[in-house]
Amino acid sequence: MTQTLTIPRPDDWHLHLRDGDMLAAVLPETSRDFGRAIIMPNLVPPVVTGDQARAYRDRILAALPEGDDFTPLMTLYLTEDTDPNDLAAAFESGLIRAVKLYPAGATTNSASGVRNFENVRPILERMAEIGCPLCVHGEVTTADVDIFDREAVFIDTVLDPLRRSIPGLRVVMEHITTKDGVDYAMAGDDTLGATITTHHLIINRNHILVGGIKPHYYCLPVAKRETHRLALRAAATSGNKRFFLGTDSAPHLDHLKEHACGCAGCFTATNTMPLLAHVFEEENALQNLAAFASQNGPAFYGLPVNTATMTLTKQDAPVAFPNKIPTPNGPVTVFDPGYPVYWNVT
């Protein structure tokens, strides 16, 4: 029997589009399904000023396939040299919707990130005054902290003290991967939200390491134990307003993923919505997919829910998603959940 589910058109509250040829190749994979997306600013060089954000937005719009209705929501990359006045002008004009905090060295193209959090305190206080959200890559980068503990340590030693000292600051805990992150978000007030990726609902660290290293499952923050994955699934499918979709879809050329020092990131833009329908059905929570993918994010960012709709249909035969997205410089591998998926966008 055919099953269908219609929800408001979803948004992606954490997306990497890159630039140039890569941007042109991967943008259609997002703009086909999503109405809006928070665009990550970690280009080389990073997007650190309002003028740079405007120029990047214009390049995205120029690459948009004709007929696609998609709005890029721009961000600035926080550095210790960020100009608070430029940031405030960009936010108050509507040019940007948030500012991204990368601890220096935490992930791809994060070398320009923050090393001393005291140096950005005046900037964060200004953001709290004007209501500009801070999107946080929540991991410490000190060498003595195990990679599987970096999120929990960040919450305890950086995020919680920061929020206590600047209580009006609106914060998005991006791509949480632990029960610690779930618990902290659930205990927060309306100034706190958390995004969860598609792939962290599907894989744990065994998927990366058992039976050989699987580079296309390697991401940062790295997937954790099964107990953490189950906590993420419970949070995402609960309908709780603190949690919303941020795919962290991150395209890398195959030869840079399948490498002695491979890049971190899973490319999920192509098949995120069918995969989410599969997960939510497994959790008997299809009724909450709209909250996670379409409603909670706009509510946090103070935006209206999209008026357009998306219909997902469960079919009898598995959906054949593309394995690769071609680019002029080589292919990008689409995330493979490792099992057949019967839901598709129709």
Question: Which residues are part of the catalytic machinery?
Answer: 248
Query: Is 150:140 a contact under the CB 8 Å cutoff?
Result: yes
Q: Which DSSP letter does residue 40 get?
A: P
SS3 content of the chain, % helix, strand, coil (to 5): 35, 15, 45
Residue in 302, 50, 11, 13 with CA at minimum distance from that of residue 172: 13
244 three-state secondary structure:
strand
Burial class of 345 by CB neighbour count within 10 A (0 to 12, 13 to 18, 19+): middle
Distance (Å, rounded) from C-alpha 17 to C-alpha 30? 9
Distance (Å, rounded) from C-alpha 197 to C-alpha 265? 11
Range 249-262 burial, b when 16+ CB lie within 10 A, else e: bbbbbbeebeeeeb
Whether the bond between 45 and the residue before it is cis, its omega within 30 degrees of 0, is: yes
C-alpha distances in angstroms, 259 versus 206, 214, 216? 20, 11, 11
Query: Going along the chain, which residue ranges are E strands?
Result: 3-8, 12-15, 36-39, 71-77, 96-101, 134-136, 171-173, 192-196, 243-245, 309-314, 324-325, 332-333, 343-345
Task: Give backbone dihedrals phi and psi of 197, rounded to 5 degrees, phi first.
Answer: -85, 165
Question: What does the block give as tokens for 117?
Answer: 């959090």
Distance (Å, rounded) from C-alpha 17 to C-alpha 49? 18
